[in-house]
Structure 1
Amino acid sequence: MSSSTAAPAAAGVTPDADVQIRLRGLTKQFDVRGKTVTALDSLDLDVPRGQFLVIVGPSGCGKTTLLRMLAGLDAPTAGQVEVQGGREGRPENSMVFQGDSIFPWMSVWDNASYGLTMRGVPRTEIKETVGHYLDKTGLAAFANAYPHQLSGGMRQRVSIARAFANDPEILLMDEPFSALDEQNKTLLQAELLRIWDETRKTVVFITHSVDEAVTLSDRIMVMTAQPGRAKAFVDVPFERPRDVLELRHQSKYGEIVYDIWQQLRDEVSRSQAQAGSAPQKKRSWLRR
């Protein structure tokens, strides 16, 4: 592992930075058929304000469990989750999921404006904000369409437009592009980078794709197999704004991808061994 790209797990703590997310000793356990299973174990992590953090790790290492705790959907068994807020009345976070998460009975416009409408934002502001993000995501011509009339990639664009339009402090993204074909995935990665360059929001993004992690992130956290711990942190040195295709032609890009795979290799093998030895009825939980 080259010392220029990776740091040990302790590097996840950055006390001198403007920290927006601080995790200390974060542990999550589940009771599975009378047995205690530890999904996350004693995780320490600081995410500076405005950083694009990507988390990679083998299946079952607790990535989604971590994101759910950041979103306030699950409570930790032990440890602390501290999130620094900002403007009063601004939502703490918005989450973009892997599958379709938009309302099928609402138009593209109504889906994208949902969060703002629920917060009672004035109509003129909603019109300006939603119009802006529909333009940014290439959906302006489809404002009156319904989800069943859209492709999978376009539905994910609606999810992204809704998340940014809601103007959260933190954007949480759980493998949002994993179900898409390679062409749509590349296009949406480019769209996300363009919008992020404009907003510079704090992002925590989960993916199984090392290429995607290096393309999007400022920093990557590599996790161990279950129970999930921080194994290493990798700083991604590429300047912004980034061109997705040009970036992948750089030799340094290939070096970083290789380094991360070296870190992941043993963890993926260990995760596969765990899944192979687990009873069939427990495997759906272990994929979290």
Structure 2
Amino acid sequence: MATIDSGTMQDVSVKIRLSNLTKSFQTGGGTVTALDNVSLDIPTGCFFMIVGPSGCGKTTLLRILANLESPTSGTVEITSPAQNRPGNSMVFQGDSLFPWMTVFNNAAYGLTLRGVPKAQIRETVDYYLDRTGLTRFAKAYPHQLSGGMRQRVSIVRAFANDPDILLMDEPFSALDEQNKVLLQEELLRIWDETRKTVLFITHSVDEAATLGDRIMIMTAQPGRAKRIIDVPFQRPRSVLELRAQPEYGEFVYSIWAELREEVERVRSRDLGERA
């Protein structure tokens, strides 16, 4: 039986519990299993990173947690959010801003939908625009911003809405390295203040080690939880200072060694299908 329940767990230290979660899709070529028997607990306030090869079900997992997909079998339990707080907000890989809205109105969108008083919206949005260096662009439209700035607005919109859980699907993957580092620093700074539960998908082992508290390595399709690793680095963190530490390089290498097996499995399978 496939279920998604909110507010059912007694253990408040666990925000999300997945039990034997499976998701299959019917295609013209038959049944495709994206996720297979995934079980894990994600603690409240954890910055949880998910890495895995392409097609391993990472985005499918986030979509199930966002109630955009239903599991085929297994259960998802999520502790209920505080009163008047939305369950989750999602930050996508691509540009998800409304082009007809200003930066301020894009950032205020979730709060406006919830009927939050205008004075509170102004205070909240102004705070996050200031924290991300976007105050002077409040009246600008998305087409007037760089890609990095548009993604900053997406992050502001997510945090301003004050969700219980923040779901992030490769939000920095399309950015150049300089903008990526700057946004990683900003995200860490804001997260240090809020300590929200975050699930963050990335293809970058560096990004996973830099941002996360825990990292789940997923297998090649069908996606399973291969290993969950605790990140050993203390907080607060500086992206560049952390990456200059010798132990950081050793940690990243150890993760990549396990992930590489799965990436090579996908590559071998793809080459075999083309032969």
TM-score normalized by the length of structure 1: 0.90
Q: What is the deviation of 1:89?
A: 2.0
Structure 1 CA distance, aligned partners of 2:154 and 2:181? 16
| Residue in structure 1 matched with residue 85 of structure 2 by the alignment | 90
Q: Structure 2 matches for 1:139-288, cutoff 5 A?
A: 139-278=134-273
1:38-70, Cα deviation, whole Å (9 max, x unpaired): 110000011000000000000010000001001
Structure 1 CA distance, aligned partners of 2:270 and 2:171? 24
1:224-264, Cα deviation, whole Å (9 max, x unpaired): 00000011111111111101100001111111101101101
| 2:12–2:79 contact (8 Å) kept in structure 1 | no
1:181-224, Cα deviation, whole Å (9 max, x unpaired): 00000000000000000000000000000000000000000000
Structure 2 CA distance, aligned partners of 1:29 and 1:274? 19
Q: What is the deviation of 1:276?
A: 3.5
Unaligned runs of 5+ in 2: 1-9
Aligned residues: 265
Identity of aligned residues (%): 70
Q: What is the deviation of 1:17?
A: 7.2
| Residue in structure 2 matched with residue 32 of structure 1 by the alignment | 27
| Letter paired with 1:84 | T
| Letter paired with 1:259 | S
Structure 1 CA distance, aligned partners of 2:269 and 2:97? 34
| Residue in structure 2 matched with residue 284 of structure 1 by the alignment | none
| Match 2:63 to one of 68, 89, 92 | 68
| 2:36–2:223 contact (8 Å) kept in structure 1 | yes
| Residue in structure 2 matched with residue 58 of structure 1 by the alignment | 53
Structure 1 CA distance, aligned partners of 2:90 and 2:186? 17
Q: What is the deviation of 1:274?
A: 2.9
User: Which deviates the most, 79-88 or 206-215?
Assistant: 79-88
Q: What is the deviation of 1:265?
A: 1.2
| Letter paired with 1:109 | F
Q: What is the deviation of 1:83?
A: 0.9
Q: What is the deviation of 1:33?
A: 0.3
| Letter paired with 2:258 | Q
Q: What is the deviation of 1:86?
A: 2.3
1:73-127, Cα deviation, whole Å (9 max, x unpaired): 0000000111112212210000000000010110000000000000000111101
1:171-190, Cα deviation, whole Å (9 max, x unpaired): 00000000000000000000
Structure 2 CA distance, aligned partners of 1:137 and 1:276? 44
SS of the aligned residue for 1:163 comes to helix
Instruction: Confirm or deny that 1:49 pairs with 2:48.
Output: no
Structure 2 CA distance, aligned partners of 1:148 and 1:57? 33
Q: What is the deviation of 1:278?
A: 4.8
Instruction: Confirm or deny that 1:137 pairs with 2:147.
Output: no
SS of the aligned residue for 2:163 comes to coil
**How large is the Cα RMSD of the aligned pairs?**
1.3
Q: What is the deviation of 1:272?
A: 1.6
